Structure 1
Amino acid sequence: MEKPEFFVTPGYGDYLRKELHYSQAVKIGNRVETSGQGGWDDDFNIPEALEEEIAQAFRNLERTLATAGASWKDVVHVNSYHVGGFPPEVNAAMVKFYRQYMPDHAPIWTQLGVEALGLPQMRVEIRVTAILA
């Protein structure tokens, strides 16, 4: 088995590694797994609009994947965690960003409703698996 390589997203990832002792991604061979990425900025501010929070989570995943040498084109599996259920705007935003970031393929997706996430104001967290070609 190949040795795991851990990656920290510059900015917010440095803080999370120091304070909570976890990495944002791990690469083993050609497989990259991310930890859940929220819709925060580098100062952990969360947008008020739900669609913008989801958009920021996608951008954070893009940054995190890049630290491990991957991109959205490599993503094969998505888990998304949602506080507050699934009003139509949740799926509309998720699908909008799937089509934007992965126009040439549709990953498998598991969507979960949860009671709470890591920050009290968070409504979404997304983690992905990527396979490098």
Structure 2
Amino acid sequence: MTDAPKAITLENDPLAPYCIAPAWQVGGLLFLSGQASIGEDGSIVGAGDFDAQLAQTFANIERVLAEGGSDLSKVVKVTIYLTDMANFPKIVEARKRWFSPPYPADTTLEVRSLALPELLVEIDVIASV
């Protein structure tokens, strides 16, 4: 018998208005919804500032991971969505800042837009618990 999937919830969840669970735990894995630069109050943090948005996005990732009993050291896969691939070098630096070798598997792609027009980056994560 396997463990039933478990929704991970947050107090002051900025994704709640969009009917999105922050994450799901299935067995020993945690699947995060795409995280972006949205503060706990639902406002965009760092509109027009990629570095500020990236920092807030990782803060949100860390918050959801912690609520699910995990952390950045247990991340095994990331998918990164950029609205401008010119920011890719900053993503490489972000990997060095927030992850340690061996680095997670990664897919990075450019998209025309994200869910809210002010957003410049969104990251979804799979981690072990």
Are 1:108 and 2:105 matched, yes or no?
yes
Structure 2 residue aligned with 1:69: 69
RMSD, aligned α-carbons: 1.5
Aligned residue pairs total: 126
Q: Which residue of 2 aligns with 1:119?
A: 116
* TM superposition score normalised by structure 1: 0.86
Quick one: distance in 2 between partners of 1:68 and 1:60? 12
TM-score after normalising by structure 2? 0.89
* Segments ≥4 residues shifted beyond 3 Å: none
- For the 8 Å contact 2:44–2:119, the answer to whether it is kept is no
- In the aligned structure 2, how far is the partner of 1:106 from the partner of 1:128? 13
User: What whole-Å deviation, never above 9, does each CA across 1:78-132 have from its counterpart, x for those lacking one?
Assistant: 001111x311xx2232222222221242111101111111111111100000023
* Rounded Cα–Cα distance in structure 1 between residues aligned with 2:102 and 2:38: 26
State how far apart, in whole Å, the 2-side matches of 1:75 and 1:34 are. Answer: 10
Q: Deviations over 1:5-58 (max 9, x none)?
A: 1112332x2x532x2222101001110000000012223223031111111111
Where in structure 2 are the equivalents of 1:82-101 lying within 5 Å? 82-83=82-83, 85-87=84-86, 90-101=87-98
Identity of aligned residues (%): 27
Equivalence map 1:48-59=2 (5 Å)? 48-59=48-59
